[in-house]
Amino acid sequence: MSSKFENLNPSYQSSTTTTIVVVDDEAYVRDLISRWLAGAGYRVLTARNAEQAWRLLQVEDVQLVASDVRMNGASGIDLLRNITATKPDIAVVMLTAVSDVTTAVATLTHGASGYLTKPIEREELLVQVHHALERRRLRLENDEYMRTLERKVREQTVAIRRAHEETILRLLNASRYRDEETGAHVRRTGLYSEVLSAALGWPEEQVEYIRMAAPMHDVG
């Protein structure tokens, strides 16, 4: 999408941080939808084709796109594909003048959060937008929860491993006090176990555990 930015309208500003881009090649439709959304408290930007909308998404923090399906140049489906592939955190509601099941299924298959048939009713639009943003919020919260959980699991795994290694090292050090020959035997056992497990193609983490644990056979 390489067309120049044209006629982008950053009007209808509001105090909310939720920004919506309305994309339609009909000025009347753009303006009407923009007024409805701005009246509901959203910050609204407009573009008259998919290329302009795509350019806008590169420079603005956008939470939702409401786009016509059929436009001159790239279609709304093309825009939807690009958003889904590269900016999946943006919710998309598709608008069309044609009541076509195939088109509706295609938009949802490509990741649209909602689908409206023109002429669009104000309440219907606001409900779809609200639901799309709510699903987006829940998805982002879930993603953040999973990232936090994974980070905690990694941190806990590292802590457990360090404690395990410290225990082994203390026991090994205690065993080495008995005599130097025993200490040398313990070190050789760990080295041989490491080499053999690596030769067998075991994962690096398991090889490390084997190296640490093998000398324990002589403790006690």
Residue entry with tokens 């313990």: 186
pLDDT in tens, 179-192: 555 556 656 666 76
Provide the pLDDT confidence category of residue 193 given band limits of 50, 70 and 90: confident
Q: Is residue 162 part of a domain?
A: yes
pLDDT tier at 12, thresholds 50, 70, 90: very low
Residue 41: give its domain's CATH number: 3.40.50.2300
Q: Is the peptide bond before 88 cis (omega within 30 degrees of 0)?
A: no
Domain that holds residue 170: 156-218
Q: For residues 38 and 129, state if they share a domain.
A: yes
Other CB atoms within 10 Å distance of the CB of residue 161:
14
Q: Is the peptide bond before 203 cis (omega within 30 degrees of 0)?
A: no
Question: Does residue 168 surpass a pLDDT of 80?
Answer: no
Gyration radius (Cα) of the chain, Å: 30
- What would the mean pLDDT of 77-94 be, rounded to a whole number? 94
Confidence (pLDDT) at 79 = 95
Q: What is the mean pLDDT of residues 197-207?
A: 75
Tokens standing for residue 188: 């050789």
Of the pLDDT bands very low, low, confident and very high (cuts 50, 70, 90), residue 217 is: low
Global confidence as pTM: 0.62
**Alpha-carbon distances, residue 172 vs 144, 166, 193, 205, 207 (angstroms):** 42, 10, 16, 20, 18
Q: How many Å separate Cα 48 from the centre of its chain?
A: 28
Whether the CB-CB separation of 132 and 114 falls below 8 Å is answered with: yes
Higher confidence at residue 149 or residue 19?
A: 19
Tell me: do 142 and 177 sit in the same domain.
no
- Residue 92 φ then ψ, to 5°: -130, 130
pLDDT digits (tens, 9 = 90+) for 22-33: 999 999 999 999
